[in-house]
Amino acid sequence: MLHEPIIVKKEAFHAIGVSVTTTNEKEASTEGNIPQLWNRYFQEQMMHHIPNQQTKETFAFYSNYESDETGTYTFTIGMPVSSLKDVPENMTTLTIPAATYAVFTTRKGPVAEVVCEAWEYIWKWSKENKRAFTTDFELYDERALDPNNVQLDIYIALA
């Protein structure tokens, strides 16, 4: 069970990573693209090819929402960067606007389990709270090194 989120303001920032366009319906089926993108990110050691890194943490961004959680969106795995120069050909750039976020912290557990649980909670929570559907993100820091015992923060942009 998740606790009530804390509210934080963040300045705009840039990121570079690898992206896929998908829907939650597709991701709930066996046709999901997100697990393959994570596999590619780690197998190809993409974190070592992102230029201008500002941090060693990995982020998963949800952006370009078509509408709400039922529409298409872009899922990007990447890192915050100081500049969008020298972007490798197979990568995409992202500018995350300044926003106020509700920050949810998952319980500790297997990554797929805790992330799915957290999003189910967030979808229920957002029925009574206004999401902006601009850019949301998951932050994988030192608490997320062991995929079987992960804890992460999910930042939801507020309208």
Residue 108 lies in a domain: yes
Q: What is the mean pLDDT of residues 79-108?
A: 97
Q: What is the mean pLDDT of residues 102-107?
A: 97
Q: Answer positive or negative: Cα dihedral of 14, 82, 85, 38.
A: negative
Per the CB < 8 A criterion, the answer to whether 144 and 111 are in contact is yes
User: Model confidence over 49-92: pLDDT tens digits?
Assistant: 999 999 999 999 999 999 999 999 999 999 999 999 999 999 99
Give the pLDDT score at 1. 66
Residue 138 lies in a domain: yes
Give the pLDDT score at 2. 80
Count the domains in the chain.
Answer: 1
Residue 145 lies in a domain: yes
Residue 46 lies in a domain: yes
Q: What is the mean pLDDT of residues 127-136?
A: 94
CB atoms within 10 A of CB 6: 11
Q: Residue 47: CB partners within 8 Å, gap ≥ 6?
A: 41, 56, 58, 79
Q: What is the mean pLDDT of residues 132-139?
A: 98
The Cα–Cα gap between 74 and 22 comes to 6
Of residues 131, 155, 156, 120, the one with CA closest to residue 141: 155
Per the CB < 8 A criterion, the answer to whether 15 and 50 are in contact is no
The Cα–Cα gap between 127 and 140 comes to 26
pLDDT band at 3, cuts 50/70/90?
Answer: confident
Q: Provide the residue range defining the domain that includes 70.
A: 6-157
Residue 51 lies in a domain: yes
pTM of the shown model: 0.94
What 3-state DSSP class applies to 66?
Answer: coil
Residue 1 lies in a domain: no
User: Model confidence over 33-51: pLDDT tens digits?
Assistant: 999 999 999 999 999 999 9
Residue 47 lies in a domain: yes
Return mean pLDDT, the chain.
95
Residue 134 lies in a domain: yes
Share of the chain above pLDDT 90, in %: 92
- Which CATH number covers residue 132? 3.20.80.10
- pLDDT of 13 above 90: yes
